[in-house]
Amino acid sequence: MGQPVASRGRTATPTLGKAMLNKYARAFFTRVLTPFAAFLIRRGVSPDTVTLIGTAGVVAGALVFYPRGEFFWGTVVITLFVFSDLVDGNMARQLGRSSRWGAFLDSTLDRVADGAIFGGFALWYAGSGDDNALCAVSIFCLASGQVVSYTKARGESIGLPVAVNGLVERAERLVISLVAAGFAGLHKFGVPGIQYLLPVALWIVAVGSLVTLIQRVVTVRRESAEAEAAAAREEDSHGRETAK
Show binding-site residues for Mg(2+). Answer: 85, 88, 106, 110
Alpha carbons 176 and 208: distance in angstroms, whole number: 11
- Residue ranges of the annotated binding site are 48-51, 85, 88-89, 93, 99, 106, 110
Active-site residue, selected from the candidate residues 110, 130, 131, 236: 110
Binding site for a CDP-1,2-diacyl-sn-glycerol: what residues are annotated?
A: 48-51, 89, 93, 99
Residue 61: what are its φ and ψ, rounded to 5°?
-60, -40
**Close Cβ partners of 240 (under 8 Å, ≥ 6 residues apart):** none
Active site residue 130: no
Closest residue by Cα to residue 71 from 123, 131, 25? 123
Cα radius of gyration (the chain): 21
Active site residues: 110
